[in-house]
Structure 1
């Protein structure tokens, strides 16, 4: 964990943390609703906002430093036979044969992909996120969405607080001089709000159909999807089941079995 914290992502994580608390400090120092509540001795709103910001930072570091589902051993092992016997067992299933990664030389489970940035294959690979400097995969994908949801609430609340602090003036020039700090905050927070809304919406949609960003964008190049009819998803069990499995089932899934169930011929 400490190697990841102080490795190549140290600058990104430091930037995120510093930017978050600088914006929070500006909102407290200017004549916003937070400042007015403090002056009146009404501390509920300032405390709740501070706790929400703290929660968002903690979730950010949790998702950023979490193991996303690195593949550290071969996906399929035959306990009694040789590699040749294991391959025969795999070929009996009506699914594409598991491939061996050309970078880490491990046998990839279905839905895994090698990340050149992390230098590991990742189970149920979604994407490598440069903002958290980590992959989003099987183990941290649900927490990535929870982080986005908490971050969105914090950003929208920050927008409302910043707007409450804008000071009216008789001229545009004077108004800009009085409010340029808050205007800068509104610009940064507004841009991040739009990005987070788009990301959260996309990832909730993908979770609802049991698909990943990588599968959605590169369907034609993925062996277990390119032979399916157009728009068919062999892992889709319906929106309710997909969301339940995604958020509530905290274990590794053998996707070869799910794929087999979804594609067996009932005749």
Structure 2
């Protein structure tokens, strides 16, 4: 069931709305994955380094056109449902096509990874990120004009207002559309583990798909390169490679943020927060004071990591 956040409480969306959004997301996944089949179909002899950027461009075009078409019709999709159905689609390709070329041990390991990944996805979608009840001193118009506003509670925990959830979140890092939830103090560790789980599962799928596509045998009298099953295996493998690339960069960025105790919203919007500003002495002839970024919460790499690993409920 899909949820909407309001004042720190998760409220279920109407059943009809949830079903409609999930249906649109499911259709979007099928269209996206089938569109990616065009790359290995028409560029079979091209190297992977050529197919990757071409697939990324095609993926952006399909997603962009799909978003424009949904806005034109006034229908909405669900990003978490899109992620879920993408996992199911890839898992289905593995079970019905790729599995025959994989060893028993690798088969058990990959299926276990997918099951754990799905459980983690539903867990982070429903887990409280650290909602707090706070009466904002800002008017509703002021809150709508910015993505987050914030304060510190009595325990010196950073609390930010999420415009997407319309709620205050303790230790707010960012709102993750893919998981349909805020990332805060209570689920930040789970978020990092889930990112690592996605990377591990997708890397395993790439290995399995590579073993299948490298088969020199003829399947049912048809060359492997011309087999629709092989084309589908290659397209999903390319999709997984693209996922590993951007998710790896995203995970590396978050590890950097943990080491230096920087929140995503603070890095991007630090000019909106007085605690991250320091007045710089103006040069001769200047009539204004320049501001520069400071991070008063940086306690050093070791202490920052210890603070991150210490879960304060």
Q: Same fold (TM over 0.5)?
A: yes
Alignment of 1:66 onto 2:130: no
2:100 pairs with 1:35: yes
Look up the match of 1:87. Answer: none
Which residue is equivalent to 1:165?
212
How many correspondences in the alignment? 218
* 1:243 matched residue in structure 2: 305
The 8 Å contact of residues 171 and 185 in structure 2, kept in 1 or not, is answered as yes
Tell me if the contact between 1:56 and 1:151 (Cα under 8 Å) persists in the aligned partners: yes
**Residue 50, structure 1, aligned to residue 111, structure 2:** yes
> More deviation in 60-69 or 110-119?
110-119
Contact 1:101 / 1:114 at 8 angstroms: preserved in 2?
A: no
Superposed CA RMSD in Å reads 2.9
**Alpha-carbon distance in structure 1 between the residues aligned to 2:117 and 2:279:** 40
Residue of structure 2 in register with 1:190 after alignment: 241
CA distance in structure 1 between the aligned counterparts of 2:255 and 2:273, rounded to whole angstroms: 22
- 2:95 and 2:159 map into 1 onto residues whose CA distance is 45
Distance 2:272 2:203 in 1: 39
3-state DSSP class of the match of 1:112? strand
Gaps of 5+ in 2: 5-10, 23-77, 144-148, 281-291
- CA distance in 2: counterparts of 1:60 and 1:107, whole angstroms: 28
Deviations 1:101-150 (A, max 9, x none): 4348x984263222121010212221111101111111111110110011
Q: Distance in 1 between matches of 2:279 and 2:121?
A: 36
Consecutive unaligned residues of structure 1, counting only runs of 5 or more, are: 75-98, 253-267
Alpha-carbon distance between aligned partners in 2 of 1:100 and 1:227, rounded to the nearest angstrom: 24
Q: SS of 1:68's equivalent?
A: coil
Partner residue of 2:254 out of 196, 199, 203: 203
Q: In 1, are the aligned partners of 2:161 and 2:169 still within 8 Å (CA)?
A: yes
Q: Is 2:139 aligned against 1:102?
A: yes
1:219 deviates by 1.3
Distance 1:147 1:246 in 2: 16
Question: Which structure features the higher share of strand residues?
Answer: 2
Question: 2:272 matched to which residue of 1?
Answer: 221
What is the CA-CA distance between 1:176 and the residue it aligns to?
Answer: 4.4
Aligned with 1:18 (options 72, 85, 93): 85
Q: Deviation string for 1:48-93 (max 9, x for gaps)?
A: 211111111111121121111112146xxxxxxxxxxxxxxxxxxx
Give the Cα–Cα distance (whole angstroms) in 1 for the partners of residues 216 and 198 of structure 2.
29
| 8 Å CA contact 1:108, 1:121 repeated in 2 | no
Which residue of 202, 219, 225 maps to 1:175?
225
1:152 aligns with 2:199: yes
Contact 2:134 2:168 in 1 (8 A): no
Q: State the shift of 1:29 in Å.
A: 2.3
What is the CA distance between 1:185 and its match in structure 2? 0.5
Assess, with a 3 A threshold, how the Cα gap between structure 1 residues 174 and 215 changes in structure 2: closer, same or farther: same
The answer on whether the counterparts of 2:260 and 2:304 sit within 8 Å (CA) in structure 1 is: yes
